[in-house]
Structure 1
Amino acid sequence: MFLFRKKVEMPNAADALPGRPTPLHTAERHFVNGNPLKGPYPEGIETVVLGLGCFWGAERRFWQVPEGVFVTAVGYAGGYTPNPTYEEVCTGRTGHNEVVLVAFDPAVLPLDALLRIFFESHNPTQGMRQGNDVGTQYRSGIYTNGPEQARIAKGVRSAYAEALRARRYADVTTEIVPLGPFYFAEEYHQQYLAKNPGGYCGLGGTGVSCPVGVDVPA
């Protein structure tokens, strides 16, 4: 029970693993579409970072969006440990979430429509878990770039929370915070399910439609 509790409680900064000063090696280009993971991105492209459970299936959900997504990459955000490894994140002692960086064209795929896909693709009421995946690294989170992204994200969260309450779901636990350091995950995690089509995917939604961004097809 003690070990389980440690997995679902955020560590303090003072107790987090020390990490390392240099970034981990990762891929240069997206395995599916060939675009650069770290940029430079074309003019007009924005980025947002999203946590919705195991990042393998989460990333595939976004690179499969028909239009508007330039590139995706998996990584770690929302914690304390600099340049953490996957194994360190899984201990629950870094504070990081498994996340997907989505570089998108808001003229084609507005942020509210992107967040509709985000909310409908997982259960944002489960706290520090998604389905059978338990731990702080599986929490629901939106890590924003600037106040306008935060405003839109909070509006979509509020609308979806109301839709979920009408279906007797618990309160939404999705955290919305400014993006701090984002660390790209190791190369083998990038586009993992394209390289390993039979690999694990725990992604699953509630079946409740999000009433925001419905004019853009997912």
Structure 2
Amino acid sequence: MSWLDQLLSARSHKRELISPEQALPGRDTAMPVADEHLLLRHPLRGAPAPESHGIGDFGADLSAVILAGGCYWGVEEIFWQVPGVYTTAVGYAGGHTPNPTYNEVCTARTGHTEAVLVVFDPAVVGLEELLKIFWESHDPTQEMRQGNDVGTQYRSAIYTLSEADADLARASAEKFGKVLADAGLGPIATEIAPLSQAGNGQFYYAEDHHQQYLAKNPHGYRCHAATGLHYPAG
């Protein structure tokens, strides 16, 4: 087998979602991260709370959503700049391996996608406005990839903390899907579900050096394969 055939074979394998029984075992210990967001100076984790899906409790005045649109470095950079966003953190969601490492996720044997936790003040910015940015900043029609990044860890996803928010996300996908269809693109491949129904129902924080990576490394890698289309107004 030539090196090109090997590369294509490896990439094909990484586009296949695994079952829970095939997943790496992981570990019980959560990934240590900094106490505060490097730029926003708010906590990365919420207060310990039962049934918080690994995120913690940020208080009744704040809401949260988990967005996956390719390499999480670039996605996080987009959202920490949005007025009304309280904090952001990169991590892994939609998979089965508990507390995976980045290297494990890269094997496609954890089931996770690279994801960004976005905690926001709904009095300042609404979920649909955040989803508008999400749809416009990547290509949701690319299944199991984003640009040159190929594999299940780069799949597009929206994981919400309530069924009502999941319904809103599905409605937003339908709106943007019509825009895509009119442009001859689609369909949308984005997973949309409450976090509790995605993989093992947990968000796992990535290693600390990945948090706010592009603030620490401003010339670092960004991968955005946006369609150039705009989410409909109104």
Shorter-chain TM band? over 0.9
Aligned to 1:210: 231
| Residue identity in the other structure for 1:195 | K
1:52 and 1:27 map into 2 onto residues whose CA distance is 24
Select the residue among 176, 184, 193 that pairs with 2:214.
193
User: Is 1:130 the equivalent of 2:146?
Assistant: yes
After TM superposition, list the pairs within 5 Å mapping 1:39-188 onto structure 2: 39-40=46-47, 41-65=58-82, 67-179=83-195, 180-188=201-209
- Residue 170 of structure 1 deviates from its aligned partner by 2.3
2:59 and 2:179 map into 1 onto residues whose CA distance is 36
Instruction: Give secondary structure in 2 for the equivalent of 1:28.
Output: coil
- Residue 204 of structure 1 deviates from its aligned partner by 3.6
CA shift digits 1:129-182 (9 cap, x unpaired): 000000101001000111110110000000001100100112110010111100
| Residue identity in the other structure for 1:190 | Q
2:185 and 2:118 map into 1 onto residues whose CA distance is 28
1:4 and 1:171 map into 2 onto residues whose CA distance is 22
- Residue 185 of structure 1 deviates from its aligned partner by 0.5
1:35 and 1:86 map into 2 onto residues whose CA distance is 24
User: How many matched pairs?
Assistant: 212
2:126 and 2:224 map into 1 onto residues whose CA distance is 23
- Residue 17 of structure 1 deviates from its aligned partner by 0.6
2:170 and 2:40 map into 1 onto residues whose CA distance is 31
Task: Answer with 199-208 or 45-54: which moved more.
Answer: 199-208
How much identity, in percent, do the aligned residues show?
52
With normalisation by structure 2, the TM-score equals 0.88
| Residue identity in the other structure for 1:146 | S
1:142 and 1:24 map into 2 onto residues whose CA distance is 22
2:14 and 2:119 map into 1 onto residues whose CA distance is 30
1:84 and 1:58 map into 2 onto residues whose CA distance is 20
CA shift digits 1:55-114 (9 cap, x unpaired): 00000000011x110000000000000000000001100000000000011121111111
- Residue 26 of structure 1 deviates from its aligned partner by 1.4
| Residue identity in the other structure for 2:21 | A
Aligned to 1:2: 9
Identify unmatched segments of 5+ residues in structure 1.
Answer: none
1:144 and 1:103 map into 2 onto residues whose CA distance is 11
Identify unmatched segments of 5+ residues in structure 2.
Answer: 1-7, 48-57, 196-200
With normalisation by structure 1, the TM-score equals 0.94
2:62 and 2:22 map into 1 onto residues whose CA distance is 37
- Residue 7 of structure 1 deviates from its aligned partner by 0.3
- Residue 42 of structure 1 deviates from its aligned partner by 4.8
